[in-house]
Amino acid sequence: MGKIEDVPTVNGEGFQLTVLDKVIGAARANSLWPLPFATSCCGIEYMATMGSNYDLARFGMERMSFSPRQADLLIVAGTISKKLAPVLKQVYEQMAEPKWVLSVGACASSGGIFDTYSVLQGIDRVIPVDVYVPGCPPRPEQIIDGIMKIQEMAKTESLRRRYSDEYKSLMSNYNIESDEQ
């Protein structure tokens, strides 16, 4: 669980003085709604992470959103083949900003042991990725570590990052239309 930082406050009833970035960062980090894009064996380890032994609900991820329109975090667990790559890109484009991508497993990060004609050698060939979790399959503790790193990124991200030129050029590298002005 994340620790809410101590911010200096003014004593009084019902008012708190803090920095907007920190509040929004804390709110975003502790209420990420994941979209489990689980294709193969890493998907079963993800289901085990969701189960009661390695509970993901305590990170604020009680509700798995299967609709990209309502999700913040795209968790890609499993092998992505070249046939599935356009589908993945479409799902990513349907998500609203701010969005993060967690690539779980060796196959999603780099193609894994399947260096074959039909497997996409890493999802970062079609979408930008924030955190990579290696393993085949990674233990649930590793997946939780990856999620905690995403939470760190969400907490400390600048509110204007998605409008910055650097971000826009990143999106255009992947040929993803960014509709922020």
Closest residue by Cα to residue 75 from 54, 114, 45, 52:
45
Q: How far apart are the first and last CA of the chain?
A: 35
Among the residue ranges 22-30, 32-40, 146-154, 164-172, the one whose residues contact another protein (CB under 8 A):
32-40
Among the residue ranges 18-26, 80-88, 155-163, 168-176, the one whose residues contact another protein (CB under 8 A):
80-88
Total residues contacting another protein (rule CB under 8 A)? Answer: 33
CB of 166 to another protein, least distance (A): 23
Q: Does residue 72 interact with another protein by CB under 8 A?
A: no
Contacts of 80 (CB under 8 A, 6+ apart): 39, 88, 107, 108, 119, 120, 123
Which residue of 8, 10, 12, 53 would you call a contact of another protein, by CB under 8 A?
53
Which residue of 21, 98, 114, 149 would you call a contact of another protein, by CB under 8 A?
114
* Paired residues of 103 in beta bridges: 76, 132
Cβ nearer to another protein, comparing 82 with 162: 82
CA separation for the pair 112, 22 (Å, rounded): 37
**Identity of residue 178:** S
CA separation for the pair 22, 165 (Å, rounded): 23
Q: Is 41 helix (H, G, I), strand (E, B) or coil?
A: helix
Q: Does residue 142 interact with another protein by CB under 8 A?
A: no
Q: Does residue 33 interact with another protein by CB under 8 A?
A: no
Question: Cα dist. 148→96, 121, 140 in Å?
Answer: 21, 25, 12
Q: Does residue 109 interact with another protein by CB under 8 A?
A: no
Query: Residue numbers of the site for another protein (CB under 8 A)?
Result: 37, 39-41, 44-45, 47-48, 51-53, 64, 66, 78-84, 87, 91, 113-119, 121, 136-137, 139
